Amino acid sequence: MRVFATLKILTLIAVLGLASMAAADPIGSTTFQGGTFSLSIQNVGGNTYQVTYNANFDGWTGAQYMTGLNFKFGSTNWSNASLISGPATWGQNIVGGPLTGGNLSQNGCNSQAASTFLCDQLSDANFTATPTTGSYTWVYQLTFASPLTEADLADNHIGALFVNGDGSSRGILSTTISVPEPGSLSLLGSCLIFLAGFGRKLGRKQGL
């Protein structure tokens, strides 16, 4: 009986692991001028998602301040977006979606053409609000025209704009993050299969 109790506990741990992984999908990370930048996404109901953007400046060798960021997933437009949490003064100048562009250049967010990007930038008065030290996290909530697919998540983009104290641009991060193979879920599934086989063997040995 102890064998089966132990197997139940291990199986429960594996199932909980599957559930937690299904709740949030880490897209991955990239490095730029000594910093690390990452994206993750979570469906919070229907076509609505929360996107977490993280910037870690440990080891940073670039400009003094971060003044803009952008990201996208596939070719699916979004209709509503807001900053749920993040550094002070961000979230006031969000552009992108089907009506305005979200490309990021040395001049900040581009609002001239339609785009699937979300772009957020600090105002000129607040451009020194986010020094490139420590770590920052932004959480945005977006409503897309349709649910995102695995292909959308693989066709991602992450960007950031950095300036010096005199306002001169000194670097633009603009890249696609390589999405890891979805092997973690397969690994947990294999673990469950192993536990089931292991339990049967122990049961036979103990005459259960």
Q: What is the pLDDT of residues 172-207, one digit of tens each?
A: 999 998 776 554 434 444 444 444 454 455 455 555
Computed over every residue of the chain, the mean pLDDT equals 80
* pTM of this structure: 0.76
Q: Give the Cα separation of 65 and 167 in Å (integer).
A: 9
Q: Give the Cα separation of 37 and 56 in Å (integer).
A: 6
What is the per-residue pLDDT for 76?
Answer: 84
Q: What single-letter DSSP state applies at residue 90?
A: T
For the chain, list the domains and their CATH numbers: 26-180 (2.60.40.1170)
